[in-house]
Chain A
Amino acid sequence: MEKPELIVHLKEIVGSDHVLSSDMDLTLYSYDASLDRAKPDMVILPGSTEEVSKVVTLAYKEKIPLIGRGSGTNLTGGTIPIKGGIIIHFSRMNRILEIDIPNRTATVQPGVITLDLQNRVAELGFIYAPDPASQKVSTLGGNFGENSGGPHCLKYGVTTNHILGAEVVLDDGTVTWTGGKAQNNPGYDLTGLLVGSEGTLVIATKLILKLIRAPEAVKTMLAIYDTIEDGANTVSAIIAEGIIPATLEMMDNKVIQAVEASVHAGYPLDAAAVLIIELDGMSDGMDKKAEKISEICKRHHVREIRLAKTESERAKLWAGRKGAFGAVARLRPSYMCCDGTVPRTRLPEALAKVMEVSKKYDVPIGNVFHAGDGNLHPLIMFDERDEEEKERVLKAGSEILKICADLGGTISGEHGVGVEKLKETHFIFCERDLEFARQIKKAFDPMGLLNPGKMIPEPDNNHQNQGVLV
C-alpha cells in the first residue's frame, strides 16, 4: 500500500485530525530525551483501544513498524523510529478510568501523566509509588514500557512492582488482558515480562496499578559532606546497619552548583556532596532511626545535617533533586545520562572510577543519583554541535557502563536499553542470553514490527563475552 492510501485508511480509523504526516510534524516526533534522531513515516493519535487495535491490524497486514509513545521523556532512544513506521502517540488516551480504593487499584489509559494520577490518589490518602524524576510530564504507559524507577524505589520497588495487569494489543491487532485486580493468576507472569519490554512485545492500552496507603509519617534529612567518598560510604553503612530508608539520593558539587543556580534548594555551594535521606512509615521508632542515621553520618565525617521541619522545607530539599537534570543544562547545552547500576556496596569504587573517566576523556561529569539502589546517573555535559566532543562523550559513557558491569552491576537501572545501549548489552549478556531474548521477541512479534531495532542487538558472532554469572 502506498503512503497516501495508507494515510486515507488511518484517517478512517482515528479521524482525519489525528493523523499527522507533514514534514514539521514528523520532525517533532523524531527525537526524545536521548541523543538519537529519526523521523517516522506518520504519527497517529488514537482515542480508544479499538482504534489502536485496528491500526495494529492494518500495520500487521502491511508490515509497517509501530512505535508507542507517551511524552517522549525516554533517555535511551526507546521511542525513536529508527526503522520508520507509524508512531502511536497516546496523548488522547489520557483518562483515569477507575480508582478502586476497596481493591487498592487504579485503572488508567497509557497517556495519563504519572503525577496527575499521584495527585488524584493522594487526595484519597493513597500513593502510587514509582516516582521518576520526569513524573510531571512522563506518562504511565511510558513508565510501563520502560519499567521506570525513581527516588522512592529503594523501599517501594520500581514500576513492575506496582503493575497488576494490562490490556494489551498483540502484533496482529488482537486485544487481550494479562494479570488483573487479583494477584497470583495461574500461568506465566506475562505482566511481569511486558513491563520494561520497551514496546517491543505488545502495545499496552490500559493499565491496572497498585495503590498503597500513604505512610503515616515522613522524615526528610539533608546530609552535607566535604568529600564524595564520605557520602557514598554513609549510604552503604546505613543499609548495612539494617535501616532501609524510603530514599537515599546523592548529588555532587557540580550538580549542586547547577541546582542552586536554577531552583535555589539551599544546598551549600562549597559542599562536595549532599545526601537526601528520607524515612517513612509508622511514626513510632522513626526518631530513634533518624538519630541512628545521624550517628552513622557523623562517623563518616558529615559536615552538617539538616532536618526538614515543615512540608515546605521538605519540598525545597526535593526541588533540588527533581530539578537536577534540567539544571545541568545551564552548564552545557547537552548532557548524556549514564544509567549504570552497581551492587550498592561498590558505590564508592564506582564513583571514583567515573571521575577518572571524566579526566581521561576531558568531559565534565556531574553526579545525581539513587545512591541507595547503587543506581548511578553520571551526567556527561557537552555541546551536541561539537562532533569531536560528542565522540568523546559517547566513549566515556560506554566506558562508565563497562565499569558498572565489571563491578558486578548492570548497564541500566531504570532508563532501559533502547538504541543507545545496544552495543553495551554485550557487557552483561553472552550470545545465548541474547538469543533467548530474541526467542521471546519472536513468540510475541515474529515479523519484528513492534518498536524494531530496540533492546536486543542483532546476532553478532564476534562477541565472545561469557556474560555475567548471576
Chain B
Amino acid sequence: MTDLNNRYNELMEIVGPEHIRTDDGDVEQYAVDGMTPNAVVFPKDTQQVSDVVTYANLKNLAIIPFGSGTKMALGHPPKRLDMVIGTSRLNSMVDVDTDNLTFTVEAGVKFRDIQARLATEEDRCYLPLEDLGTEAEAFICSDRSHSGCFMPLDPPFSASATIGGILASNSTGPRRLLYGLPRDILLGIRFVTPDGAIVGTGGKTVKNVSGYDISKLMIGSAGSLGILCEMTLRLLPLPERMETILVSFDSFKNTSTFVEAILDTQLLPAAVEVMNKRAFEGFKNNKSDLIPGRYAVAVALEAYEEAVDRMKLEMLDMAKDFEAEDSIVFSEDGHRLFWHSMGNLQNSMANRFPGMITAKLSYQISDWKNIIQFADDTLSSNHLEYTLLCHTGNGGCTINFLLDGDDTAASERAVSTIDLLLEQTCKANGNLVVQTAPTNLKKDLPLWGEPRFDSPVMGRIKNQLDPKGIMSSGRFVGGL
C-alpha cells in the first residue's frame, strides 16, 4: 500500500494532484472490459505523457490510453491494467494551416471540433454543427479567413470520437470511397514509445520519404506500440455542393444491379452505401419520409455543382430503370445530418441493445453481393435482429447484432453466426474484426478474425518495441 501511495506521489508530481484520479468511483468509469485501473492520469502535453510512460515502464505498470472511450470495447480483455492515461487535456489545435491544407492537432481533440474549426464564416461545415453540441464555441467562430475546408474522414461516433482514437483504431466510414483511408490522410505523427521516448515522424509536407513510414505502423495499432500525442493530417477544400440520393428497393437483385451500374461508370460518388431496412429505420434524426423497401441505397455526392447535378440525374434515372420503390434527395444540411446519423447508428443501437455485438467485415470489393446475401440468409435463419451497412466499392460492411444481453440463446446464436461470417470473408480474401461485444462473450468470439501469415512479423515488432508488454497488454491481434 505504501508502494501504491508513493506511486501516486510521483505521478502527482508529473501531472499535478488535480489531474490524477484514484477513487473507486472515478476509476471505475475507465474500466476496460471490466478491469479497473488503480489510477487514471491526465497529462497536459506530450512531455508529460512521456514522463508518465517513462515512470510506468520503470515500475512495470500496465497502461492503456483512453480518449472519449468510443473504441474501448475493441480487442481482447487486457491481461493486466494498472493505469489509464486519459488524453482529454491533450486538446490543443497546434497549427491550422488552411492555405497549405494541413492541420496539426493533439490526440485528445474531438473530431467534430476539428471540422467546426474548418467551417466557413457562414458556418458551412462538413458536419451538421447544430446537431453536434460542440462545447468549444471558440472553435467555431474564431479566425476563419478561408473558404472552408474539411478533414476528409467520416468515422462513426463523429460527435464524440477524438482524433487520436480514430487513428489508433483506424476508424473509417462510407466516404472513404472517394477520400481514402486514414493512412492516406495522415502526414505526420508524434507519439510516446513504450519506454517513454518522444518520437516524431513525417510532417507538414504531402510527400515525405525521409525514413520509415512510421505513421502507417501506428495507425490501427490500438495503443499497443505507444501513445499517439500529436498528428498532422491533410485537408481538402469543402465540396462545392453536397447532396445525397436515397433510394429504396424491395429485392436485393435490383439493389445490387443499381449499385453495380453506378460503380461501373466514371461518375465519382463519395459513398455508395447499402443498408437493410432495420439499419435505415434505426438512424436517430432520420427525418426522411422515404417509402422503405427491404434495402436502401444512399449515395453521397460531394463535388462541383455541375458534377453533382449530373450524377443526381443519371443515378435517379438508373434507380427508375431498376424498379426502385422510392427515392428522395437531401442537400446540404439534410445531407450532413443523414451521414452523421448513419455514423452514429452503432452508438444509438448500443444504448437500446446492451448485449450488442458489432462486427466489421472486410473482403475483396467484388464479393460484396455474396457477403450481404450470405449474412442476410444466415442471420435471418438464426432468428437474429441486425442492422447491416455495406460500403460498396470499398469491400467493407458493418453488422450490429441487436441483442438485449439477457437472451443467452440469442447471443450464442450470434457468436456462432460470426464464425460463419468470418469463414465467408476469409474466402473472399478478407477478414472480420469484432468492434464491440459484451466482455463475457469475448472469449468465444474471433475478436481479430483469422490470424494471417504476417502475425509472426507483428509479434517481432511488438516484442522489439514493448518487451515488457506494458502497452495495452494482450488486447491487440494475437494477444499482443
Contact = CB atoms under 8 A, between A and B. Distances in A.
Interface in A280-317: 281-282, 284-286, 288-289
Nearest to B304: A285
B477 interface: yes
B454 interface: yes
A469 B453 CA distance: 36
Interface in B88-111: 97-102, 104
A289 B303 CA distance: 12
A345 B97 contact: yes
A189 B477 contact: no
B391 to A, nearest CB: 10
Interface stretch (A34-42, A85-93, A258-266, A432-440): A432-440
A103 B366 contact: yes
Interface residues of B, number: 96
A289 B454 CA distance: 46
Nearest to A237: B99
Contacts, number: 274
Given A186-B433, A409-B203, A440 B189 contact: no
A284 B307 contact: yes
Interface string A385-419: 00000000000000000000000111111111100
Contacts of B460: 443-444
Contacts of B70: none
B184 A285 contact: no
A188 B217 contact: yes
A373 B204 CA distance: 11
Contacts of A176: 453-454, 456-457
Contacts of A421: 210
Interface string B466-480: 000000000011100
Interface stretch (A5-13, A134-142, A267-275, A336-344): A336-344
Contacts of B363: 182
A187 B455 contact: yes
Contact of A285 (B98, B303, B454): B303
Interface in B375-392: none
Nearest to B184: A161
Interface stretch (B8-16, B191-199, B246-254, B332-340): B191-199
B209 A177 contact: no
A345 B207 CA distance: 14
Interface stretch (B57-65, B232-240, B409-417): B232-240
Counting chain A residues whose Cβ lies within 8 A of the other chain, the interface size class is 35 or more
Contacts of B225: 188
B394 interface: yes
Given A184-B172, A439-B464, A432 B199 contact: yes
Contacts of A213: 266
Contacts of B433: 184, 186
A413 B188 contact: no
Given A176-B457, A282-B307, A425 B212 contact: no
B205 interface: yes
A192 B209 contact: no
A182 B366 contact: no
A160 B464 contact: no
Contacts of A170: 457
B25 interface: no
Q: Which 5 A-B pairs have the closest CB atoms?
A: A192-B216, A242-B237, A285-B304, A182-B430, A102-B366
10 contacts: A177-B454, A181-B429, A185-B452, A188-B221, A343-B102, A374-B206, A408-B203, A412-B208, A428-B203, A433-B199
Given A160-B216, A373-B207, A417-B209, 19 more contacts: A102-B365, A160-B213, A185-B362, A189-B170, A189-B183, A192-B183, A281-B268, A285-B304, A288-B306, A343-B204, A410-B210, A414-B209, A428-B203, A429-B210, A433-B201, A440-B464, A443-B463, A443-B464, A470-B201
